[in-house]
Structure 1
Amino acid sequence: MTTRGTDHGDVPGHDHGYLLDNRRAEAGTRFEAFAELFDPVTFRHVDALGVGAGMRCWEVGAGGASVPLGLAARVGPGGTVVATDIDVSWARDAAGGVVRVLRHDVAADPAPPGGFDLVHARLVLVHVTDRAEALRRMVGALRPGGRLLLEDADPGLQPLLCPDESGPEQRLANRLRSGFRALMAERGADLAYGRTLPRLLREAGLEEVGADAYFPITSPACAVLEAATVRHIRERLVAAGLATDEEVDRHLANVATGTLDLATAPMVSAWGRRPLSAAGSTPDPGR
């Protein structure tokens, strides 16, 4: 929602079959890597949407504390940030002041009350089984004129961990990444979800819809993220016959050399505005 997200997404949810359980120690490392990789992109969009003093924001699937704290700095003491997740273990550091942290399932629980000027989710919906219902609830939580910013992965657009597959180390990396995505798909992740976001926002009745995409290559944070992810899922990879323990150890050693040009899946950011005439109505996102 933790973030929720993709090979980057972290939607916490051990009870919901989520592959990357936030209760594992590796989750904290992953959230730190996400923040380094994607916070500049997220806040570039947040600032372009005009989020500022006194506004009310809902951060869905907060995962770690970096986005709620960044929003809090923008809305100031007169604003409110509600940060929700199925598992709030890693978001608690943001609690206090204008930030409220709540345990919440976006596809099952009513939206926090009050209406919001911004609703944001990063690397969350790709992992949620009932994505259409989650989106409907987020759109319905917007105030008239409020903005929805969704950022989600699309591994289908760029499926390789090493886009430059130049040797055995890169081939092994890409095979393990393919296994990871197979495990995600088995648990209901939509590996082509990111590209659908602009259409879904329009079908939800939002106006001024726009989108772009970003994926880093060769950032040190990519290596940190990959090592933490593989350690997190190694038992599942081995149990499913997707890799051997020796292959996992070899891959981790290759990552540690810092010589692999590692990439993430593209993160598609899409945004839109709820019409000012939408008071009292809740658009129904297309399925």
Structure 2
Amino acid sequence: MTSSPRPPQDTGRPDPTGLGEESGYLLDNARAEAGERFVWLAELFDGVTRGHVDRLGVGPGSRCWEVGAGGPSVPAALAAAVGPTGYVLATDIDPSWLAAGDGYEVRRHDVAADPPPEPGTFDLVHARLVLVHLPDRARALATMVAALRPGGWLLVEDADTALQPLACLDDTGPAQRRANRLRDAVRELLTRRGADLRFGRTLPRVLRAAGLVEVAARGSFPVGGRACDRLEAATIRHVRGELLGAGLADDAEIDAHLAAIDAGELDLTLAPLISAWGRRPAEQTPENRA
């Protein structure tokens, strides 16, 4: 689950297709740091995701759509769960890090612009850290709901960086305060790109409004450890140019922060990941019709 994903052919420069720019996504897939981020996100959250998928009854023969897959770890886990009699579709606006033939199908797809693939057929549709970044979240959510079969489950997992905005909870020294200033700067960049930093907490209401039933949610909140450190370092390197260009940080500040991470001086944390799920009603009625 945490093996290194396959990189795009050109990992050191912006994607020549321009997909990252078109999507407005700050942490696009076109740079080498994206692969590092996928590895550490998998380390931190794949166990959380697998637990929810198991509880929702995904197993041999299930049909699953992984939306905005990014790296291969979740599609590969779903493919292992559904077996040869099931089907897993992994889509992304830039699927460079995905490998067709690893037990799942890969397609380029924009969930906020394209129609749903194979509508009304999936037992599970899953998206992690996707909707929070999309300006047209309502359309993306409607596309995912339309792909569910009656009785199928939608599992959406998104961060709420406004709920917990700090990089270091124990804000006791200059290195910790610097980390928190840089986390604020990254949050500002995300906001400018259209991210909703309060979206995670809204997921139960949003899923009910989409016509889903049996809606519930849980949160996950990692604090400290190598995975948090390496994810932070990869993220800061990924957005370094944007931080400098926007005047939100300078080279000395960024270098000092990366050095503090490498030295193990910081107990870094993340925003809570809110996992919410709901089921498309088996029979549409006036009360539960979307």
TM-score higher than 0.5: yes
Aligned length: 269
C-alpha separation between the residues in 2 aligned to 1:13 and 1:238?
Answer: 19
Q: Write the letter of the residue equivalent to 1:100.
A: E
What is the aligned-residue identity percentage? 64
Aligned residue type for 1:84: T
* Separation in 1, partners of 2:289, 2:194: 25
Tell me how far 1:21 sits from its aligned partner: 2.1
Matched residue type, 1:268:
I
Shift of 1:180: 0.4
* Contact 1:159/1:178, CA 8 A, preserved across alignment: yes
Contact 1:136 1:283 in 2 (8 A): no
| Residues 72-124 of structure 1: CA deviation (Å, up to 9, x unaligned) | 011000000000000001112xx226410000000100111151000000000
Structure 1: 5+ residue stretches without partners? 1-11
Once superposed, which parts of structure 1, at least 4 consecutive aligned residues long, lie more than 4 Å away?
Answer: none
Q: What is the SS of the residue equivalent to 2:194?
A: coil
Higher relative contact order (CA 8 A, sep 6+): 1
What is the distance in 1 between the residues matched to 2:28 and 2:141? 22
CA contact (8 A) 1:54 1:76 kept: yes
- 1:276 is paired with a residue of what secondary structure? coil
- 1:16 deviation in Å? 1.8
Please point out which of 93, 104, 108 is paired with 1:86.
Answer: 93
The corresponding residue for 2:138 is 132
Tell me, in whole angstroms, the C-alpha distance in 2 between the residues paired with 1:152 and 1:13. Answer: 19
Range moving further from structure 2, 234-243 or 38-47: 234-243
What does residue range 122-271 of structure 1 map to in structure 2 within 5 Å? 122-271=128-277
Tell me, yes or no, if the aligned pair for 1:79 and 1:98 is still in contact at 8 Å.
no
Counterparts of 1:174 and 1:193, CA distance in 2: 21
Q: Supply the distance in 2 between the matched residues of 1:74 and 1:16 (Cα, whole angstroms).
A: 31
Write the letter of the residue equivalent to 1:105. Answer: D
Partner of 2:113: 108
Q: How far apart, in 2, do the equivalents of 1:124 and 1:283 lie? A: 25
The letter of the residue matching 2:22 is D
Q: Is contact 1:144–1:277 with CA below 8 Å preserved after alignment? A: yes
1:75 to 75, 82, 103: 82
What's the C-alpha RMSD, in Å, of the aligned pairs? 1.4
Q: 5+ unaligned residues in a row in structure 2: which ranges? A: 1-18
Question: Do residues 54 (structure 1) and 50 (structure 2) align?
Answer: no
Q: Distance in 2 between matches of 1:143 and 1:236?
A: 41
Alignment check: 8 A CA contact 2:20 2:30 kept: no
TM-score, normalisation: structure 2: 0.90
CA contact (8 A) 2:123 2:152 kept: yes
Please say if residues 133 and 194 of structure 2, whose CA atoms lie closer than 8 Å, have aligned partners that are also in contact.
yes
Pairing 1:44–2:51 present: yes
After superposition, the C-alpha distances for 1:143-168 in whole angstroms (9 at most, x for unaligned) are 00000000000001100000110100
What is the CA-CA distance between 1:241 and the residue it aligns to? Answer: 1.3
